[in-house]
Structure 1
Amino acid sequence: MKTIYILLKKKIIQAIGVWILIPISIGIIGLSCGCESFVETESPKNELVTASVFENEASAVSVVTGIYSRMMGSIGFASGHYQSVTIQGGLYADELDRYRATSAFYENALTADESAVNSRWWQEPYQYIYTCNVILEKLNLSENISDVVKKQLEGEAKFIRAFCYFYLVNTFGDVPLHLNSDYLENSDKERSPVNDVYNQITSDLKDAHNLLPEDYILSNYEKTRPNKYVASALLARVYLYLEDWHQAEVFASEVINNTTLYALEPDLSKVFLKNSHEAIWQLAPVNPHLNTKEGFRFILTSAPPRTQALTENLVNAFNDTDQRLVNWIKSVTDGENIWYYPYKYKIRAADEVTEYSMVMRLAEQYLIRAEASTQNEDFLGAQMDLNKIRNRAGLDDTLVSSKEELLTAIYKERRLELFTEWAHRWFDLKRTGRANVVLGNAKPNWDDNDNLFPIPTEELLRNSKMTQNPGY
């Protein structure tokens, strides 16, 4: 009965929307608010988006920028908060230990009934995808938005859709492809094979690459809205995952070679500042008295920790002379024991905003190109890119030169450089075939089925065509 009621409600809202102009301000609030009262598990979060919102450029832009506000206003997916990809991905791999409270992510004991998997890892990205699909449809119908703004918004919508699908496909494997805003049609979609999902991701990113401007002028030169090179950076990562080494190298080089916009920060303490030279794409905070939720959640103020701390294995992986150990890791003690925590973000809470949440940065692009060059047997080029990251950390040039040695060195550097950022460690272990060995040794409950999350029970009940991942 509940499902029937929701479907009827959807029909009524669609019908009403034809002849009643819902105020633009309400539509925008519904899009940008991070409040849980707007979340409905059976229907999209943003049913208030109507054609009227796209009658002028300001309100149309607000629909897109509202997605970023929702991401940061949430406690999940992209927020940096405790149910985000960053923290729960770190717990799921071997970066973070959990204290005081149990965690199914840390214990690798997820079930299909885990609420965070359903609401934060599944529903939330699909809600953003739904909004992007609405944007793409309504833009085509609007006669009051200039071609320049239309191109920007279309590019952003396609980029965000690709970004969300990248995390969905790497977390769940085969997932349904929703490419329009017809909720009834999408509610019983079958899972699309991983290759089909990646084809859509690359298609969207190539479109975004062609549509988006080359600078950050439309965000007042803040790096908080994607431009062409943000699309390039994600394309480089996607092609690395697809083992298309040539294309990975091409798109990483496109970002690296733009020295006007991007440069490695020589001072490690400045990497995560807002609009840093190294930043490619960041999200600005929306919560009062906070900079980033990563800083709020990671920085420990007492011992023992109440939430999470870095694993001893990760801390011990750093050379004593590595400046990342000095700049990006701090500790607390109770006099007997020491716990270490990420200190990439230096601000736990403050009214003045000096840090933005880093989504993509230049160091990753050097490591992508180093790995792609190694696979293409350009060992000198790989060494040069690897040494850029090592030297910035105060380390000497690498001495390894063979393909296998270089790949091992690059994987280690990715671990040390990108720790507790956006589940890079877990995804790296999976895509390189090392997850079962590394995590099997590090975590007592790990098994092969843990390479994918379970499809949420709620989705299985809602969609008769949905199938479950093995082992759940």
Structure 2
Amino acid sequence: MKNRIILTIILITSLFLGACKKALDLNPNDQIATSTFYKTKADFDAALAAVYASLQTEEFSYGMGFRDGFTDNGYNQFNSGAAKDFVQGNFNPTTGGYETAIYNDSYVGITRVNLFLQNLGNYKGSDISDSQRKIYEGEVRFIRAFLYFQLYSIYGDVPLVTQPLDLSNQKQPKVPAAQVLAQITADLDYGIANLSTNAYYANGGHAAASSAKALKARVLLFAAFGSTGTPDATMLTQVRDLCLDLMGQYKLSTNFEDIFRDATQKNNTEIMFSVNFLAPNNTAPWDMYYGDWDACAPMQNMVDAYECTDGQPYGTSPLTDTKNQFKNRDPRLAKTVYADSVYFGPGKVHHPSNLRPTGYGIIKFLEPNNIPYGFSTLSQQDAVILRLGEVMLMYAEAQNEIAGPDATVYKAMADLRARVNMPAYPAGYTKDQMRERIRHERRVELAFEGLRHYDLLRWHIAGPVLNAVVSSLINYHFEDKFYHWPLPQTEIDKSGGVLIQNPDYK
């Protein structure tokens, strides 16, 4: 799929009128301006690639593992994304890291989308059919929804911008989070109605209607828990129905690890959307970050969370082997975590150059054929954003909250665990018991895919979970105000008082 989209960043510059020298070229050949661009379908294809490229930033793709450094899953020894500051409670409007990057890079992408849509609306060329126009619009609105969800889920109230801005209106106030959510769902509904009905893996790397459905399910599952952690049944019903539809279109990858390896991502029947990379010009530091730097080290409690092969907790099961923690364990442990060194078989061993502070590293995203990893190793694995495994977990969670642990909930969980030969759950669980099992399964199935932070926030258990972590490496300290991050102070300052800081950070 990645061969079909060349993610080339195109800089579309604004032209500012003012005092200038006579020799100034208002349309220089080395820049792209709206006055000379958006003149052909080829221009729109190039601009579409630039919209997709806005997702290639660290925090939206190859840095997904770092987001687990904001949770009980991992330790970020380099403070990447300011994860250490967050975990220790040293989090404020000037912290920087992901606090600033997620905000700024989201709006960079949103600006590209808005500019694309404005020019698409103005374009009269006959080389773009009405059906193609709808597909274009559906794709970029899908990406805008993804970016606004980053803002909505982390900051809450933010500026809602759906048109290109100029000097007269560039200072925008924030709007209520509910209004942002409404725009997200409207964008996704448009995508569901107008994007290709092909499965994502058969759609050449372009977002499909199913991609929009999966993202809408994630958005609504987050929104359903509101500010209290008590889910809204109406939203959960929508989540359930969206997931049920997707479960009929996609199939689990036979091998868990194939979802994340370059050679087996193409045409993978589990993947519903990914951020594409392609050597030699569009690569990412997956192998460097996780294989050599050990930038986000799995915590011991994360390793302990994986059950033994009999389905019993490690430490309780008679299969527990304290001398070999990987023996008799859920196979996903060895497919997610490595101890001391990366090992893919004879001749494919790598000893990271950096210290492993917890004794562990993340093997999940590493490409065996790229060994030895180095300080500057770049690779072309795609960043998997949406996949069937998550959809099955969302279905089970929503249906359990609606109706309790019925046969369909048990089946979804059994099918997911069967992929790695883990036993099905025993009959007789209460709703509360099944809820805990589903939450546990999300943690191990989706480890380091950047979703643990969302989960702790939406379940409103971040405080109890994070403050209970005991580690000699770092002291965890979570306050209720961290359920919403502060807006970057740089943006507050630039707004001249138009943009107001979130209440707990004034």
Partner-residue secondary structure (3-state), 2:397: helix
State the Cα distance separating 1:206 from its structure 2 match.
0.1
Tell which structure's C-alpha radius of gyration is larger: 2
- Partner Cα separation in structure 2 for residue 353 and residue 26 of structure 1: 29
Partner-residue secondary structure (3-state), 1:180: coil
Partner of 1:346: 366
User: Within 5 A, what are the aligned runs for 1:280-429?
Assistant: 280-286=272-278, 288=280, 292-300=284-292, 307-320=295-308, 321-332=329-340, 339-347=359-367, 350=370, 355-379=381-405, 380-399=407-426, 401-422=429-450, 424-429=451-456
State the Cα distance separating 1:99 from its structure 2 match.
2.4
State the Cα distance separating 1:151 from its structure 2 match.
1.2
AA aligned opposite 2:133: K
Partner-residue secondary structure (3-state), 1:12: coil
User: Is the CA contact (8 Å cut-off) linking 2:286 and 2:366 kept in structure 1?
Assistant: no
Partner-residue secondary structure (3-state), 1:397: coil
Partner of 2:323: none
User: Is the CA contact (8 Å cut-off) linking 1:169 and 1:175 kept in structure 2?
Assistant: yes
Indicate the larger mover: 103-112 or 242-251: 103-112
AA aligned opposite 1:132: V
- Partner Cα separation in structure 2 for residue 271 and residue 14 of structure 1: 52
User: Is the CA contact (8 Å cut-off) linking 1:77 and 1:120 kept in structure 2?
Assistant: yes
Q: From the superposition, tell whether residues 148 and 247 of structure 1 become closer, same or farther in structure 2 (CA, over 3 Å).
A: same
Task: Indicate yes or no: 2:261 matched with 1:229.
Answer: no
- Partner Cα separation in structure 1 for residue 42 and residue 339 of structure 2: 46
User: Within 5 A, what are the aligned runs for 1:63-82?
Assistant: 63-72=47-56, 75-81=57-63
User: Is the CA contact (8 Å cut-off) linking 1:55 and 1:143 kept in structure 2?
Assistant: no
Q: From the superposition, tell whether residues 413 and 13 of structure 1 become closer, same or farther in structure 2 (CA, over 3 Å).
A: farther
RMSD in angstroms over aligned alpha carbons?
Answer: 3.1
- Partner Cα separation in structure 1 for residue 411 and residue 83 of structure 2: 37
User: Is the CA contact (8 Å cut-off) linking 2:76 and 2:83 kept in structure 1?
Assistant: no
Q: From the superposition, tell whether residues 153 and 194 of structure 1 become closer, same or farther in structure 2 (CA, over 3 Å).
A: same
Q: From the superposition, tell whether residues 58 and 296 of structure 1 become closer, same or farther in structure 2 (CA, over 3 Å).
A: same
User: Within 5 A, what are the aligned runs for 1:92-103?
Assistant: 92-99=70-77
Indicate the larger mover: 127-136 or 143-152: 143-152
User: Is the CA contact (8 Å cut-off) linking 1:295 and 1:343 kept in structure 2?
Assistant: no
Partner of 1:462: 494
AA aligned opposite 1:451: Y
Task: Indicate yes or no: 2:8 matched with 1:56.
Answer: no
Task: Indicate yes or no: 2:241 matched with 1:250.
Answer: yes
Partner-residue secondary structure (3-state), 2:75: strand
Q: From the superposition, tell whether residues 365 and 101 of structure 1 become closer, same or farther in structure 2 (CA, over 3 Å).
A: closer
User: Is the CA contact (8 Å cut-off) linking 2:296 and 2:362 kept in structure 1?
Assistant: no
Alignment identity in percent?
Answer: 23
- Partner Cα separation in structure 2 for residue 328 and residue 111 of structure 1: 32
Partner of 2:67: 89
Partner deviation per Cα, 1:177-211 (whole Å, 9 max, x = no partner): 00100234653222111111111100110011111
User: Is the CA contact (8 Å cut-off) linking 2:171 and 2:499 kept in structure 1?
Assistant: yes
Partner-residue secondary structure (3-state), 2:16: helix
- Partner Cα separation in structure 2 for residue 265 and residue 332 of structure 1: 28
- Partner Cα separation in structure 2 for residue 297 and residue 199 of structure 1: 36
State the Cα distance separating 1:354 from its structure 2 match.
6.9
Partner deviation per Cα, 1:116-142 (whole Å, 9 max, x = no partner): 246521111101001111111111111
State the Cα distance separating 1:26 from its structure 2 match.
5.2
Partner-residue secondary structure (3-state), 1:359: strand
Task: Indicate yes or no: 2:176 matched with 1:193.
Answer: yes
Partner-residue secondary structure (3-state), 2:332: helix
User: Is the CA contact (8 Å cut-off) linking 2:54 and 2:108 kept in structure 1?
Assistant: no
AA aligned opposite 1:79: S
Q: From the superposition, tell whether residues 185 and 125 of structure 1 become closer, same or farther in structure 2 (CA, over 3 Å).
A: farther
AA aligned opposite 1:137: Q
- Partner Cα separation in structure 2 for residue 401 and residue 21 of structure 1: 72
Partner deviation per Cα, 1:355-381 (whole Å, 9 max, x = no partner): 322111110100010011101115221
Q: From the superposition, tell whether residues 430 and 178 of structure 1 become closer, same or farther in structure 2 (CA, over 3 Å).
A: same
State the Cα distance separating 1:455 from its structure 2 match.
0.7
Partner of 1:37: none
State the Cα distance separating 1:346 from its structure 2 match.
2.7
User: Is the CA contact (8 Å cut-off) linking 1:299 and 1:342 kept in structure 2?
Assistant: yes
Which has the higher relative contact order, 1 or 2, with Cα contacts under 8 A spaced 6 or more apart? 2
- Partner Cα separation in structure 2 for residue 80 and residue 23 of structure 1: 36
Q: From the superposition, tell whether residues 367 and 309 of structure 1 become closer, same or farther in structure 2 (CA, over 3 Å).
A: same
Partner-residue secondary structure (3-state), 1:53: coil
Q: From the superposition, tell whether residues 115 and 384 of structure 1 become closer, same or farther in structure 2 (CA, over 3 Å).
A: same
**Structure 2 spans left out of the alignment, 5+ residues:** 1-12, 225-234, 309-328, 342-353, 372-377, 470-474
- Partner Cα separation in structure 2 for residue 25 and residue 257 of structure 1: 50
- Partner Cα separation in structure 1 for residue 274 and residue 113 of structure 2: 19
Task: Indicate yes or no: 2:482 matched with 1:450.
Answer: yes
- Partner Cα separation in structure 1 for residue 304 and residue 281 of structure 2: 34
State the Cα distance separating 1:266 from its structure 2 match.
2.0
